[in-house]
Structure 1
Amino acid sequence: MLGAEVLSKTVAEDGDGIRDAWLASLKQTVSSQGGRIREAEIATQVGIVLTQLREGLETGDHDADGAGFAPLRETLADISRSRALQGFTPTDTANFVFSLKEPIFEALRRFHGSDASDLTAGVWAAGRLLDRLGLHTMETFLASREAVIGRQGQEIAELSTPVVRLWDGILALPLIGTLDSARTGVVMENLLQAIVDEEAEIAIIDITGVPTVDTLVAQHLLKTVAATRLMGADCIISGIRPQIAQTMVHLGLELNVVSKANLADAFAVALKRTGRKVVRQQPPGGERR
């Protein structure tokens, strides 16, 4: 018999034995997975996968990428996406499919051990099919995990660029970490929207938390300053540390914008530009504290 026929017959005749052996193998790994998945859920997934595997083999389709295995591929993709969100490792996810090999090989040996030709053909067909399904599972898992990481990176970028309202018409944007092209877009979008919402006159960009300022970072800052001015607001850069100032002079970089050493000095300039000033309040009785 052809390998696919041997495999199909074995899965149909010994489905319960394969399921029990596979489930026992998977349950051994539940404790090592930190309780991220329950045994009942594993049992449900095992039952669905084996049913769809048997139905796919019964169609006569020998190719894991064929139409006969489309429902099974979709189920494995759903399992992979779910495990990516739950924080499973690639090894845990791959093991879900590849651990099915041993139960199927054992079933083939029980049913076809006396016929070396059928046994070899069945083992070859099972290995090829499960390897392809395992690769499909891993491809989906990795794509899902990359999507999760990308989304988390975007959320972190948004959280790390808050626009703070210091006073009526005065905003501050403290930057922490490296300023790259992608983050510049987030910074610019958040700042410009805040200028519109607050009807701000002055925006202070504080770079105290930016480790280094090179030509690329300076260009990103200039883009943000230019966009701010187009919205009708002035811009002040604060947090220019001595090391950064020396680096900028050495590189011949010019921001062409008012800069101050710290946020307090920049805020004082902003207050002066908007016709305000801060004075010390005299305590009752005219005595200074």
Structure 2
Amino acid sequence: MSSTETGVRELVAGALEAEADDIADRWVQLQLARTEQGAESNEGVLREEADGLVGAVTAGLRSDVPVDRLVATHHDLRRAVSEFSMRRARKGAAPTATSMAVLTLKEALLAAVQRRTHDGDELYAAALLINQLLDGAGALCFDTYVEGREEIIRRQSRQLLEVSTPVVRLWRQVLAVPLIGTLDTARTQVVMENLLQAIQEHEARVAIIDITGVPTVDTAVAQHLMHTVNAVRLMGADCVISGIRPPIAQTIAQLGIDLSTILTRATLADALSAAIELRDSPAQAALAER
């Protein structure tokens, strides 16, 4: 690190340390005045965020890490920026607004530096350093926001899948999964996981998969059903598929899909009757005793 860069870092870090409270206050006020965040956020929350980020920037500047790699490699600073971005993501703020909130810190920090020196060259060098540092923080903030929102969306999608595929205990040792809508790979995985877990918890002998609410059954859907049935059988339980309506039966026949190894019934009531018979059958009883 050159003596010039060291001097500029000392100037900026000194301003941050000496005027941390003023810088944080000014940053909060700028956010409240210039972004949509002001209409939604509590000023105390913004001040807490400001204190954390200002402190992390100061710690980063006091380290030996070059400015161009500071945000990417300084642990505390990177974590502070990432957590700042994730909090905004969870609140539903726009990614550009989140990045601009970080960049707004430039104005508050430059004002503090100007109060410590009037030398034009020093101010210019400090401005370059602040821009480089906070531009990197803004870019990281945007990337973290996008990744965080994608993770939130994935988690919410899985939660919706779990809610839409409940496992119901219909009878002693008899479970049912009423399916509604399209059955794709992701949903099949959730159905399978929930059903197998329920079979273990309830010591179920028979599982009914009701497809009354599934609009169409094609080759892909049939394969998903077969995978689920095979997994249920590996758990030592039998499986019945109900809800085979005439149009679906016709489609299955036309496609040449072989469901001959699976017990099927037209209605859930018929499937329940068959399930009780299966549960009480000698073969199932012998299997349960193993």
TM class, shorter-chain normalised?
0.7 to 0.9
- How many angstroms apart in 2 are the aligned matches of 1:34 and 1:166? 50
Spell out the pairing of 1:15-94 with structure 2 (5 A cutoff): 15=19, 18-28=23-33, 32=37, 35=40, 37-59=41-63, 61-66=65-70, 69-94=74-99
**Which structure 1 residue ranges, 5 or more long, are not aligned?**
277-289
- The residue aligned with 2:175 is 171
Which secondary structure state, in structure 2, belongs to the residue aligned with residue 165 of structure 1? strand
SS class of match (1:200): coil
> For residues 212 and 84 of structure 1, what CA distance do their matches in structure 2 show?
37
Change (3 A) 1:268 1:27: same
Alpha-carbon distance change, 20 to 11 in structure 1, aligned in 2, over 3 angstroms: farther
1:264 equivalent to 2:277? Answer: no
Q: Distance in 1 between matches of 2:34 and 2:130?
A: 23
Percent of residue pairs identical: 42
State the number of aligned residues: 274
Which protein is richer in helix relative to its size? 2
Cα pair 1:30 1:39 within 8 Å, conserved: no
TM-aligned CA deviation for residue 110 of structure 1: 7.1
In structure 2, the partner of 1:9 is: 11
The one-letter amino acid paired with 1:244 is I
TM-score w.r.t. the length of structure 1 is: 0.77
Q: CA deviation at 1:34?
A: 5.9
Distance 1:34 1:267, change over 3 A: farther
Structure 2 runs not aligned, ≥5 long:
282-290
Which residue does the alignment assign to 1:214? Answer: 218
Please point out which of 235, 249, 252 is paired with 1:248. 252
Cα RMSD over matched residues? Answer: 3.3
TM-score, normalized by length of structure 2? 0.77
Could you say which residue in structure 1 is the equivalent of 2:238? 234
Change (3 A) 1:199 1:24: closer
Partners of 1:268 and 1:156 lie apart in 2 by 31
Superposed CA offset, 1:38-95 (max 9, x none): 2112113223322332343344644253399432222222222333333333233223
